[in-house]
A = this chain, B = another copy of it.
Amino acid sequence: MRNQAGFRNQTDWEERAGQWLRDHDSEIFAGLGRFLRLPSISTLPEHAQDVQATARFLAEELQRLGVPRVELIPTAGHPLVYGEWTGVSGRPTVLIYGHYDVQPVDPVDQWKSDPFTPTLKEGDRLYARGASDDKGPVWAHLAALQALLQTAPGRSAGIAGSESPLPINVKLLFEGEEEVSSKHLMEFVNQNAQQLSCDLIVISDTTLYAPGVPAVCYGLRGIVACQIDVFGPAHDLHSGTYGGVVANPVHELSRLLASFHDEQGRVNVDGFYEDVRPLSAAERRSWASLPFDPHALEQEAGVPALAGEPVYTPLERMWARPTLEVNGIWGGFQGSGTKTIIPASAHAKVTCRLVPDQDPVRVLDCLEAAVRQRLPATVRAQFTRMEGGRAWIADPGHPALQKAAAALRQGFGAEPVFIRMGGSIPVVSTFSQALQKPVVLMGFSLPNENFHAPNEHVHLDNLRAGMRTLVHYWLNL
């Protein structure tokens, strides 16, 4: 009854929730400050207790909010925090996912304020590790739910039993290992699809397209990784004594890596592009209409000129073309001065970004075949396969994505755009495949907020707009 009444007056409710958010602004961000003070660096064993404490903090926040079922779910790694408030009949169930772990803070001497002492500077920028990725956006979700709860139509009359005063059914799932592979979360999702069943998954771990331009992201690239080791002599050899008759593994690795791209920046590996889904003319037109300044991108990256396949625009290259990237290389002497050796071995870390419909295993097969075929008999090679995940793509015309765009328009007061992104969020594919429901990616961070780098920060105004967006979204789903 109450809920139906609520929905007749959803515009009122949205206004009340908006007012509540304005009235409780400092309280909300004080809470975010407590969240950001917890150094939940998931990759560093010495912070394992801090990660645990952050999980407990988040679970307690959900309880404080009134979520009737809150669980701290242990894994072989860091715990999951799960909250569930369902029972609203006739309304969709939304699974909200986020992560409470953060990246390391090295090099810490490049931070202008302590990474775990949230510091407000330059107007509305809050500096702290995790402010942008992903504690700020997680907090926006909690604040939006709280605003709806505090201003729910039946609230003044008291809430009966465990019946939810929310306009949607929610399942909240936060992990502490997003920065270290999400391995245990993915296991949990795959093994608990029933518990997590929903109509829609919403994730706020992406960014606006640009300042003032909110975005719904409907595509992410996949990724696959390998290591290539080239072995030559049994041990480093004297380059005077043996130079001229012994193949140098660094030369052979260089030659191999150089062979992976042609002069046009295209990946030169047989079969690499075979399954690539072509860009549609409509999509190319849509992206061509997005504001884009190549010089700004050059400046942001700190490069003298952009590179890549000339037949595609920069956005197309970043969002819809696969890449083969050497992430690291090493071999032989790296000290100061000179050491006259033929190194015994040389090594490269390689990742490929994948697009629909590339298969990670098939891509690695192609790559390994090229390695085996191209290296001469004077050296030996080892090819080690590492983790991978397919690209993810959604239909931007799906109602859940269209309503997300409408919510962003309302929350940010600006026209949203539909974009893809070049990065990979492996859990998106996991959710999509395990739960067989649409995933909506709507982020409140900006691309240049130094996530994973010193001086990470978030614009509080974007978090506020995000809260308004979510309030609108939940009321209008």
Contact = CB atoms under 8 A, between A and B. Distances in A.
Interface of A: 221, 223, 225, 232-235, 237-248, 250-251, 253-255, 257-261, 297, 301-309, 314, 317-318, 321, 323, 325-334, 337-343, 346-349, 351, 353, 376-380, 386-387, 421-424, 447, 452-453
A378 B306 contact: yes
Contacts of A334: 328, 330, 347, 349
Given A251-B257, A254-B258, A338-B387, A332 B321 contact: no
Given A245-B308, A246-B307, A318-B243, A338 B327 contact: yes
Contact of A235 (B297, B302, B422): B302
A328 B250 contact: yes
A307 B239 contact: no
Count the copies: 2
Chain B CB within 10 Å, residue with most, of A221, A225, A243, A346: A243
Nearest to A207: B241
A240 B221 contact: yes
Given A255-B258, A327-B340, A386-B338, A242 B318 contact: yes
Contact of A302 (B234, B254, B332, B349): B234
A254 B329 contact: yes
A453 B235 CA distance: 10
Of all A-B residue pairs in the complex, the 7 with the closest CB atoms, nearest first, are A234-B302, A240-B423, A328-B332, A244-B317, A328-B333, A258-B258, A247-B307
Nearest to A325: B239
Contacts of A255: 254, 257-258, 261
A331 B331 CA distance: 10
Contacts of A333: 327-328, 349
Nearest to A239: B325
A233 B303 CA distance: 5
Contacts of A387: 338
A378 B247 contact: no
A237 to B, nearest CB: 6
Chain B CB within 10 Å, residue with most, of A248, A304, A328: A328
A332 B348 CA distance: 10
Contacts of A343: 326-328
Contacts of A253: 254, 329
Contacts of A303: 232-234, 246-247, 378-379
A118 to B, nearest CB: 24
Nearest to A242: B301
A326 B332 CA distance: 8
